[in-house]
A and B are shown apart, each in its own frame.
Chain A
Amino acid sequence: MLDSNSLAHVIALAPAAPALGAVIIALLLAARLASERVVASVAQTAIGLGFLGLLVGLVGWAAGPAGPLQLGFGSWYSGAGYDFRIDLLVDGRSAAVSALVSLLLAATSQFSIAYLHREPGFNRFFLLMLLFGAGMQALVLAGNLELLFVGWEIVGMTSVLLVGFFHERLGPVKAATRVLVTYRLCDIGLLTAGVSLHRWLHTSDWLAAEQAALTSPWPSTFVGLSLVFAAMGKSAQFPLGGWLPRAMEGPTASSAVFYGSLSVHAGVYLLLRAAPLLEHSLAAQTMMIAVGAITAVISAMSSQASPDAKSALSYATASQVGLMFVEIGFGLYTLATVHLVAHAVLRYYQFLRTPSALQDALARRAALGRTEADEGAVRWEELGLRTRRYVYRMAIERFDVEIALERYVVRPVMALSRRLDRLESRLLALHGESERRAKGGRR
């Protein structure tokens, strides 16, 4: 069998091969040698290689001694009391999710070759998809928070760029900006968590943190809350979930892989990874349960009222992800892992099939012998008119969460920053700064 060193190297192919593929495509693009056929075969090879490496590695791990396996690749840099280690961690959770990522990536690549055929952004799509794959695998297999953060950021940036895939139109660019702002806001949580782990527990290894958490309870509350905040944004939870339906601006295939299945579950996975820490913090657990439960209810209701195929599915996704938060809050980790993997596969397939909505509906209606469009909503229409109005309003406006955020958070913050900006220029004027600028030419 493979020893742990060669095991580490084959498993490392999972993130490394897609990353290498992305580099090759970037070089091809720079050299103007990229054609659809070449780019597609580079992507297929890279993803296939990563998949193969992972498969061999996981079989090797499963055949070896039981228990999690930490695979070290040395340290990137180290300073006084700090060491940035590149470690991979293989345990049941990361094995399952990493296999899922590999499989869905392979499917996306295969699907997109035909689907994006002749699209001007064909090469860009494959470049971003490979980068995303590398980031996602790094995130999943990371043995410590720093490496996870690297993967997390790559996933975030590629997601944003794919939402804005059709950047010649205004809509996708605005949606992408919104995703970017939400992601960056929540990255504060992950960054805070990383720094605090070092500050208080002097480690960021998942395995070591588990030990350290036992000794000092309150840092784990702070770290836990930060991590939950980070996860909320990535997984489109209340009240930060407004970006999810807007993210459907990219090609259907990328909506499926990012917001239907992988990217949106990254937050859940982060919490699963940090579970040993979170267990020691009642506050973090309560927050997960509350946020998850609220999201689950609101999103499920919105999904029922959504009149378009992709929004309906994206709300349904957010709702199940909310339930996963609740499961983790209650300590049901295995259930949450199974739920995550199965849910990701199902939603992926459903998203790929969203363009079929009309054909499916016609077929269903024919099979059931229905002729009028309203017949599917009989049970809903049995409710009293007042109840229906009330529930409908809440569902279609998503309990006004976004409107309230816009009105009570975004607008005041914007107003404040405008005021500060004016104040700054006035202060500068006091120092004669603006005079000097005026002399310098145009403002």
Chain B
Amino acid sequence: MMAAFACDPELFSVRALWTACVRACEHLEGQPCPQATPAVFHRDLLLRTSGEDPNEMVHAHLIPLCAAFLDRGQSYWTMPDRERGFFRAWAKVLSSGLGVRPAWLAGLGERLRDWDARKLGAEDVVIELLAELGIADDELEAFVEHTLLQLPGWAGMFHRLERAPGPIGRTRAQVRLIDYLAVRLVLDLFAYRDVAARLGVRGRAGAIRAACAALPQIAGPQQRGRHDTSWPLFRLCQLAGVSAATIDSASRADVEAVLSFLDELDEGTRLRVLHEAYERRYRIELLDALAANLAAPPPVASRPRHQVVFCIDDRFESSRRHLEELAPECETLGAAGFFGLAIAYQGIDDPSTFPLCPVVVEPQHRIEEQALTRQFSVAELRASRRRQLGEIETAWGRMSRSLLLGSIVTAIAGFFAAIPLLANVFSPRAAGRVRKAIARWWLPEPMTRLTELRAEQDGTRTAQVMSGFTLDEMATRVAALLENMGIVQRFGKLVVVLGHDSSSVNNPYFPAYSCGACGGRSGGPNARLFARMANQPGVRERLVARGIVIPEDTVFVGGLYDTANDMIRLYDAEDLPDAALHELRVLSPQLEEMCRRNAHERCRRFASAPRRSTSERALRHVEGRAFDLAQARPELGHATNAACFVGRRELTAGLFLDRRAFLVSYDPEQDPKGAILERILLAVGPVGAGINLEYFFSTVDMERLGAGTKLPHNVTGLFGVMNGASSDLRTGLPKQMTEVHEPVRLHLVVEASPATLLAIAGRQPAVAELVTNEWLRLVSVDPETRAIQTFDARFGFRPYTPLSAGLPRVRSSSDWYAGRDQFLPPALIRP
């Protein structure tokens, strides 16, 4: 025995432990084991008795017709009778033509004619079918839910489109979930009867359940097998470090107590325990770093030369860090990317207005982009050429799918497709640049202005959506944002406001990479509008009355930051006064360097990016990604998000947070009552937690809640994606967006006292819901004492004591991340 131990101690002890566990559990063999929940409804019962899934028949028939009915412009031939609802349209399709019906739908024609003759609507048919299927009143809700959740994506899309048309535009179709339910139940009824008939159960559909319950079912084992209990015990002992000797000497009662505990530790409880442990690691890392940074704050410039306002987005954590590292006289700030301007916006290239604000907000003000008078001819040229190109493209698309014209098009022009094909596949960046250059040359861009100003006595005030803002409205909004960010006294010479967007190709998920605060669109127009408003002399006069004095020489500039290719475009820069232009000549190179360094930091997470390259090359690499048809990950989006800081930059300045934190500027000193904070939390809480939870759920259950891998995705009806030619609509985010994500709940760190936070939660149910149900983890940093307290639904706020002594110190961000490609713990950056 000693020899065996000496030879391979690990093998020996594992064997000993296993033997001990098996012996301890021997007496439990043959006892009944916990049973899976019994099947209640038809489909599950039939599946368990026959092994045949009625859904297979139903879905093959239902999915293409759902797609056709909801289609927003993918097909050239639209479904007839769509304005009469899905149930009628479906019935009409089935009863037209000379078709052959599948055998399982035999008899459907008579039923449809019967319903038609009795003039029954979808609601009546649903009621009739529920009765026919033998659903008791107390089961109704559960049954309907069960039925709809057979295809959660499609049912969800009917539900969603019933309420709002979505960004792709309206169709004639009258979308109602009840119509979907009616069609689904009809098909279910016929499929159930078909499967039941093969089981020998004929007659009324209501009798199917009783008949199935009497038949033998496919089920798991009823009794515990030889190792069913020893295996979990063995795993527990391994994890807890319990030795074989302890098990051997344990009494039978002890073993049974442990086992019954393991039995109770069901899937949900176990996952919760593991999840909390997983999260704890990140929380300690984050809060220790915060404590260390508070203990040794970096020096802060009193009056900054420039200020740059970014979106609160976690992706700008690195941009802001790099900018501060390379330009210490530059202050960076964070505010939700619509900058408090909820607008319906129409750019010169847009066919209609789009809301640029969080999706829950209904914009009240319409803003248009118009070409300057002297640029009308350019604008007209652009519009007409765009229309021509659009028509050519439409005709080309149609012809290539048609029969005879298609043969001419494909046989003659098909060869020319080789040019863009080879260029785009073998040299995406060059091809993209050429494409852009051609577009610039053929579609010249006119200089434009925004229609931001509305005269005070404009009669359209009563209208639902007003055109532009009055000076008072502008002043209110500008003041609100400046107060939110806490800059009512210190202004630099230039204040650059950057909205953001993300460019990518071949990507149906493009809005998920763009600005969440603008409903998945570009925040550029909002930034531009904000700068124009803040530069209005009339607005500045009104701000003075509110106690906000913006110096004469302070100029606001709007811009757009592309998070995919790390490029910044500034708006209206040609109208700036000379002094501001001079300042811009100082700031612009700094912003460019920031983009290069940011690209460099991002590249460490891309396996396909060049290793240990210069920042120039990194920038070229990210630019290429945005143009590449083959690139399933143009960028990583919010995949790294985990925390959110609401407070002064002092909390996080000089701290390497690895692009994991939303950063919201807020100054508690100017908000004694917590009114501003309430406004901020009301916006940031739901938006931040929304983004975080979307990634969370898409990661923890990639196949059901997330969209799985992107590769087989098939854009359907311009409203969703399926896997291949027929599947449920995929919900959530694809694997390519979530694979590097660590599923931790958002750690919302607020620079406010627990009392203030609790008061806000008491007043705002939207915030309270997130906090008390622990959809996010709230942390308070007291503005005065700098004490850190964490919130827990059971215990309330409790002080946090740092676990580690100190943080590593580095001179610059690149020193910390160089050569490492995984998540990095925080570090102090002190040049």
Contact = CB atoms under 8 A, between A and B. Distances in A.
Given A308-B725, A312-B401, A346-B410, A400 B713 contact: no
The 4 closest A-B CB pairs, nearest first, are A342-B414, A367-B390, A393-B97, A346-B414
Given A316-B406, A355-B508, A407 B103 contact: yes
Nearest to A175: B724
B544 to A, nearest CB: 42
9 contacts: A171-B723, A248-B714, A249-B723, A250-B711, A304-B75, A313-B401, A364-B394, A372-B170, A400-B99
A379 B414 CA distance: 27
A139 B726 CA distance: 32
A53 interface: no
B93 A353 contact: no
A307 B64 contact: yes
A98 interface: no
A389 B89 CA distance: 10
Nearest to B92: A389
B506 A353 contact: yes
Contacts of A248: 712, 714, 724-725
Contact of A166 (B169, B420, B712, B718): B712
Given A320-B406, A359-B510, A373-B169, A312 B68 contact: no
A251 B170 contact: no
B420 A349 contact: yes
Interface residues of A, number: 104
Interface string B75-87: 1111111000000
A82 interface: no
B389 A114 contact: no
Contact of B169 (A297, A365, A392): A365
Contact of A377 (B78, B100, B170): B78
B403 A319 contact: yes
Given A305-B75, A346-B414, A372-B169, 5 more contacts: A248-B712, A307-B67, A355-B713, A366-B350, A376-B394
Interface in B718-774: 718, 722-727, 736, 739
B171 interface: yes
B78 A358 contact: no
A304 B401 contact: yes
* Most central of B387, B407, B716 by chain A CB within 10 Å: B407
A156 B390 CA distance: 40
Given A307-B75, A308-B714, A359-B507, A111 B630 contact: yes
A320 B410 contact: yes
A368 B394 contact: yes
Contacts of B100: 400, 403-404, 407
Given A111-B425, A307-B68, A319-B403, A380 B77 contact: yes
A304 B77 contact: yes
A341 B412 CA distance: 10
Interface string A109-147: 011111111110000000000000000000000000000
B400 interface: yes
Nearest to A315: B401
Contact of A369 (B92, B96, B387, B417): B387
Contacts of B350: 366
Contacts of A93: none
Contacts of B477: none
A366 B67 CA distance: 23
A2 to B, nearest CB: 27
A224 interface: no
Contacts of B401: 300, 303-304, 312-313, 315-316
Contact of A297 (B96, B403, B710): B403
A55 B631 CA distance: 29
A103 B71 CA distance: 36
B717 A308 contact: yes
A352 interface: yes
Contacts of B549: none
B414 A343 contact: yes
A60 interface: no
Contacts, number: 310
B516 to A, nearest CB: 19
Nearest to B722: A308
Contacts of B505: 356, 359
B723 to A, nearest CB: 6
B712 A355 contact: no
Interface in B58-79: 64-65, 67-68, 70-79
A348 B414 CA distance: 10
A346 B400 contact: yes
Given A319-B403, A403-B100, A169 B93 contact: no
Interface string A363-388: 11111111111101100110001001
Contact of B425 (A110, A310, A347, A391): A110
A377 B709 contact: no
A253 to B, nearest CB: 8
A129 to B, nearest CB: 14
B399 to A, nearest CB: 10
Interface string B480-523: 00000000000000000000000001111010000000000000
A353 to B, nearest CB: 6
* Most central of B80, B406, B426 by chain A CB within 10 Å: B80
Contact of A374 (B171, B390, B716, B726): B171
B424 to A, nearest CB: 8
Contacts of B402: 300, 304
Contacts of A356: 505-507, 629
B415 to A, nearest CB: 5
B394 to A, nearest CB: 6
A389 B81 contact: yes
B171 A367 contact: no
B360 interface: no
B425 A346 contact: no
Contact of A308 (B99, B394, B407, B716): B716
B417 A346 contact: yes
Nearest to B629: A352
A238 to B, nearest CB: 14
Nearest to A125: B711
Contacts of A306: 74-75
B210 interface: no
B94 to A, nearest CB: 8
A374 B72 CA distance: 7
A114 B609 CA distance: 11
Contact of B77 (A36, A296, A392): A392
A308 B421 CA distance: 22
B386 interface: yes
Contacts of B407: 320, 323, 339
B546 interface: no
Contacts of B629: 111, 352-353, 356
Interface in B425-442: 425-426
A245 B63 CA distance: 14
A362 to B, nearest CB: 8
A98 to B, nearest CB: 16
A172 B64 contact: no
A118 B633 CA distance: 11
B715 A309 contact: yes
A407 B714 contact: no
B64 A250 contact: no
A338 interface: yes
B366 to A, nearest CB: 14
A335 interface: yes
A396 interface: yes
Contacts of A192: none
Given A112-B630, A307-B74, A358-B508, A392 B425 contact: no
Nearest to B105: A403
A45 interface: no
Contacts of A406: 102-103
B411 interface: yes
A371 B344 CA distance: 14
A118 B639 CA distance: 16
Contacts of B406: 300, 316, 319-320
